[in-house]
Structure 1
Amino acid sequence: MSLIQLTIKGISYSQTQSGAYALVLSEMNGARTLPVIIGAFEAQSIAIALETEIRPPRPLTHDLFKTFSDRFSIKIKEVIIHKLVDGVFFSSLVCEKDGIEETLDARTSDAIAIAVRFQAPIYTYENILEKAGVFLKIEEEFGEEEASETDSLDIEDTATKDQNTFTSLTLEELHNQLDDAVVDENYELAAKLRDEISKRS
Structure 2
Amino acid sequence: MVPVELLGVRQYRGQEIVVLLLDAEAELVVPITVGPREASAIASAQAGVVPPRPMTHDLLRDLLRAAAVRLDRVEIVALRDGVFHAELVLSNGARVDSRASDAIALAVRTASPLLCAGEVVATAGIEVMDNEQAGTVEEFRTFLEHVEPEDFEV
- Distance in 1 separating the partners of 2:19 and 2:81: 18
* Structure number having the greater strand percentage: 2
Structure 2 residue 68 is matched with structure 1 residue 70:
no
Residue 30 of structure 2 is aligned with which of 28, 34, 49? 34
2:94 alignment partner AA: E
Distance 1:32 1:132, change over 3 A: same
Residue 55 of structure 2 is aligned with which of 48, 55, 60? 60
Task: Describe the superposition over 1:51-88 as per-residue Cα deviations: whole angstroms up to 9, x where unpaired.
Answer: 13x32111110001111111111110011111111111
Secondary structure of 1:101 counterpart: coil
Runs of 4+ in 1 over 4 A off after TM superposition: none
Partner of 2:146: none
1:138 Cα shift? 7.8
1:119 Cα shift? 0.8
Partner of 1:7: 5
Structure 1, unmatched stretches of 5+, are: 141-201
How many percent identity over aligned positions?
30
- Distance in 2 separating the partners of 1:91 and 1:138: 29
Q: Counterparts in 2 of 1:7-156, with a 5 A limit?
A: 7-15=5-13, 18=15, 20-52=16-48, 54-96=49-91, 100-137=92-129
Distance 1:35 1:78, change over 3 A: same
Say whether the 8 Å CA contact 1:91–1:107 is kept in structure 2.
yes
Q: Highest CA radius of gyration, 1 or 2?
A: 2
* Structure number having the greater helix percentage: 1
- Distance in 2 separating the partners of 1:128 and 1:51: 27
Aligned alpha-carbon RMSD (Å): 1.6
1:77 alignment partner AA: D
1:130 Cα shift? 1.1
Q: TM-score, normalised by structure 1?
A: 0.62
1:78 alignment partner AA: R
Structure 2, unmatched stretches of 5+, are: 135-154
Q: Size of the alignment, in residue pairs? A: 132
- Distance in 1 separating the partners of 2:20 and 2:130: 9
- Distance in 2 separating the partners of 1:59 and 1:40: 18
1:15 Cα shift? 1.7
Task: Describe the superposition over 1:138-180 as per-residue Cα deviations: whole angstroms up to 9, x where unpaired.
Answer: 865xxxxxxxxxxxxxxxxxxxxxxxxxxxxxxxxxxxxxxxx
1:133 alignment partner AA: G
